[in-house]
């Protein structure tokens, strides 16, 4: 497996992968319009979209890491980077794809001088939370937020020292 930046011609496939992964876990039921956000995320160049690629060239998963900007959802300053839309294709789960993507996010963030990596996740995304916690992320309950009525997102952070 190789972790690398997405190629322009793969953006549509990455959007489809995100939507398929989120739908497989029932994550779009409460907010079906979020599928369009998932498809477009990173297309504006506002973040670094990474993909996990199998030896045969198949896309296994994706994640986006974004430097702080005033519109950041969880990051609160330039010393923080924010993770968005970790998604692993249902057929690739259990192969360490999510763990490898998160390791790449942490390495890139540290190399770019970030002091903390932050993210938010739905309470039902327990598999993703296990990945985060095993990597050393800790809950940041003071940053939990409600993007829509009835939807609370849990915040996590990892200090990079």
- pLDDT (tens digit, 9 = 90+) per residue, 25-51? 877 776 777 778 888 878 777 789 999
Is the pLDDT confidence value at 153 over 80?
yes
- pLDDT (tens digit, 9 = 90+) per residue, 45-99? 778 999 999 999 999 999 999 999 888 888 999 999 999 999 999 999 999 999 9
The matching CATH number, chosen from 3.40.630.30, 3.40.50.1980, 3.40.50.970, 3.30.70.20, for 2-159 is 3.40.630.30
CB atoms closer than 10 angstroms to residue 96: 16
In DSSP terms, 5 is beta-bridged to: 50
Q: What is the mean pLDDT of residues 126-137?
A: 92
Is the pLDDT confidence value at 104 over 90?
yes
Cβ pair 33, 22 in contact under 8 A: no
Cβ pair 139, 127 in contact under 8 A: no
* 57-2-127-155 Cα dihedral, nearest 10 degrees: -120
Q: What is the mean pLDDT of residues 10-29?
A: 87
For the chain, the structural domain boundaries read 2-159
């Amino acid at each position: 497996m190789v972790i690398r930046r997405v190629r322009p011609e793969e953006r549509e496939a990455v959007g489809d992968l995100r939507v398929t992964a989120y739908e497989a876990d029932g994550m779009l039921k409460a907010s079906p319009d979020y599928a369009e956000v998932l498809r477009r995320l990173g297309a504006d160049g506002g973040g670094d979209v990474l993909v996990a690629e199998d030896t045969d060239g198949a896309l296994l998963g994706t994640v986006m890491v974004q430097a702080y900007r005033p519109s950041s959802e969880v990051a609160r300053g330039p010393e923080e980077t924010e993770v968005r839309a970790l998604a692993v294709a249902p057929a690739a789960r259990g192969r360490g794809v999510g763990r490898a993507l998160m390791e790449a996010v942490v390495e890139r963030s540290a190399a770019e001088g970030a002091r903390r990596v932050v993210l938010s996740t739905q309470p039902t995304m327990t598999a993703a939370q296990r990945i985060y916690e095993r990597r050393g992320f800790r809950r940041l309950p003071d940053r939990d937020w409600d993007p829509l009525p009835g939807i609370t997102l849990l915040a996590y952070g990892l200090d990079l020292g």
